[in-house]
Structure 1
Amino acid sequence: MAGDDKKQPIVIKKIVAGGHGHHGGAWKVAYADFVTAMMAFFLLLWLLGITDDAKRDGISDYFKNPAGIKGIGGASTSMIKLGGAKEMPRGDRTRNQDVSQTTEQPERKKGEDDLQVDGNKATETAEEQAKRKADKKVLDNLLQILKKAIEQSASLRKFKEQLYLDITPDGLRIQIFDKKNRPMFDLGSAKLKPYTKKILYEIAKTIRTVPNRISISGHTDATRFHKGYVIYENDYGEEIKLPYTNWELSADRANTARRTLLKGGVKVEQIGRVVGFSSSVLYNKKNKTDPSNRRITIIVMNRESEFDMKLTEGADAVKQELTH
């Protein structure tokens, strides 16, 4: 028995295989986010590399105020010129001004606008100045041709109180207003009146002769409007029903004007921007339901405005990458 006490105890250890569970794919999501962020980063580096300091300041301002809407005092908070900002009402002009009246832009004081995105004039080369002058000459000539065509056309002369032509920093602006008992479109519709088609065809005959791109915007008054519903598809593929409001109406009217101009001979590649502003950019702020707030604005853009539009499109693309 004494020998048995000297025996060592036997320990049996069992190892069970397959103890590790299935690993998840969370790292793939993180990696995909990293790759997307890097792509956006290099897009941003590319955009910064092709612009100077003034342009970069403009892009910075754009992200602070993407809509380009003017702030208090009427000054735009964005250094990038956008159609919406330049189409803000310019004082309380009466809508019955003669079409032959052209608003002259006040001469800039030395150094006053040096920080704007259109560049410092002091650094302009002789070639750039020549291009600017030639561009202005083309638009001035276009303005005179349009005014002459309206005066000489018996069918258009009676509508000249609903037309306003002027030269803006963006180019030649043509505004067609509603008038009491003489609207441009059917009530609450994007269907043009026959006389509005004639006006647009006459405008098309002139602007089709130049290579400049054009911007078309639709505007409504502040009267609440609701006509049926529109079916949209959200990011998850689900269909949602939203009311048809002044936003949809103004955009549809701008598109109707675009199609009519194309029928009148304007080239497809001339169309640069088509947008609906609803009642966000009123012509007559004192009377938000005034007929003059219902209008179509066509801008024959100059070189600077076209460049700024392309720059804005580039900023929009980068912003979309950064926010998705």
Structure 2
Amino acid sequence: MTKRKRSIIRVEDRSSDTPKWMITYADFIMLILVFFILLFSISQMDEAKFDAIAQSFREEGVFDSSPSISPFEDPIDGTEQNDEQLDNLMLQIQQYLEKENLQDTVVASRTDRGVVIVLQEQVIFNSGEAGVLPQAHPVLDRVGELLEGIPNFVRVEGHTDNRPIQTAQYPSNWELSTARSSSVLRYMLETRELESERFAAVGYGDTRPEVANDGPANWTLNRRVEIVILNRFYEEESE
């Protein structure tokens, strides 16, 4: 009897017929698909579940055990500390003014900008001049001493009334107000150990009156220099 030989057909690996780039491409497409599925699932995450997961991490101390590479200041704590410093500074200034009986010529107030110290013209300057008078030295010395203990930025602002001035040295109120703020700032920097980069001198002329320029009494109030110890978290809208 003749035995039939069974033909054996070898099935070769079909992958050998598939270009290698196509396999890589298919894997890449699959990874992208998985990535977008993850994004979709995250976007649909229930808020309550997310809060629960976050709370569990906090309870386990996950965040505490992995400190940030760059430490940062808690903005809430920083604001509270800054407010406390300014409130304390305000109290010291008020006590000094009361002790020296200067409330009528030097006014201090606490505003959103920070602590504002207003010095009237007659306290620090002769009319139409920008040289700091000796009688103003004790006040500026005390202010400078207090400024040594805080890091806040300080603006010294000069203001005039609206009556025009035209001299060889000061052609307008712009030059006079700027010269006055610069004189006050220069005195404090020369007599105290203060970082000059924390200060700026500005002259506003008659553009920011305290009261209406309608008579001698109000003209006197508008001729002033303001020392503004700025709140570290305050940004002026006009700046």
- TM surpasses 0.5: yes
Q: Which residue number in structure 2 is paired with residue 170 of structure 1?
A: 113
The residue identity in structure 2 corresponding to 1:279 is D
Equivalent runs, 1:148-227 vs 2, <5 Å: 148-152=95-99, 156-157=100-101, 159-178=102-121, 182-227=122-167
State which of 125, 130, 143 in structure 1 corresponds to 2:90: 143
Aligned equivalents of 2:210 and 2:196: distance in 1? 29
Whether the aligned pair in 2 keeps the contact of 1:222 and 1:279 (CA below 8 Å) is: yes
The residue identity in structure 2 corresponding to 1:269 is S
SS in 1 for 2:158: strand
Aligned equivalents of 2:228 and 2:193: distance in 1? 13
Are 1:287 and 2:234 counterparts? no
Whether the aligned pair in 1 keeps the contact of 2:152 and 2:198 (CA below 8 Å) is: no
Whether the aligned pair in 2 keeps the contact of 1:207 and 1:266 (CA below 8 Å) is: no
Aligned equivalents of 2:192 and 2:92: distance in 1? 17
Whether the aligned pair in 1 keeps the contact of 2:153 and 2:232 (CA below 8 Å) is: no
Q: 1:284 and 1:184, CA in 2 relative to 1: closer, same or farther beyond 3 A?
A: same
Aligned pairs, number:
164
Q: 1:269 and 1:263, CA in 2 relative to 1: closer, same or farther beyond 3 A?
A: closer
Larger Rg: 2
Name whichever of 269-278 and 189-198 sits farther off. Answer: 269-278
Aligned equivalents of 1:295 and 1:271: distance in 2? 21
What is the TM-score of this pair, normalised by structure 1?
0.47
Whether the aligned pair in 1 keeps the contact of 2:159 and 2:225 (CA below 8 Å) is: yes
Q: 1:270 and 1:173, CA in 2 relative to 1: closer, same or farther beyond 3 A?
A: farther
The residue identity in structure 1 corresponding to 2:212 is K
Whether the aligned pair in 1 keeps the contact of 2:165 and 2:173 (CA below 8 Å) is: yes
Deviation at 1:287, TM superposition (A): 2.6
Aligned equivalents of 2:138 and 2:184: distance in 1? 11
The residue identity in structure 1 corresponding to 2:173 is N
Equivalent runs, 1:299-318 vs 2, <5 Å: 299-305=228-234, 308=235, 312=239
Q: 1:136 and 1:298, CA in 2 relative to 1: closer, same or farther beyond 3 A?
A: same
Equivalent runs, 1:27-106 vs 2, <5 Å: none
Structure 1 unaligned residues grouped into runs of 5+: 1-125, 230-242, 313-324
Structure 2 unaligned residues grouped into runs of 5+: 1-72
Q: 1:286 and 1:255, CA in 2 relative to 1: closer, same or farther beyond 3 A?
A: closer
Aligned equivalents of 1:295 and 1:286: distance in 2? 13
CA RMSD of superposed structures (Å)? 2.3
Aligned equivalents of 1:160 and 1:264: distance in 2? 24
Deviation at 1:286, TM superposition (A): 5.0
Deviation at 1:186, TM superposition (A): 1.7
Are 1:131 and 2:78 counterparts? yes
Aligned equivalents of 1:183 and 1:166: distance in 2? 18
Deviation at 1:255, TM superposition (A): 0.2
Deviation at 1:270, TM superposition (A): 5.1
What is the TM-score of this pair, normalised by structure 2?
0.63
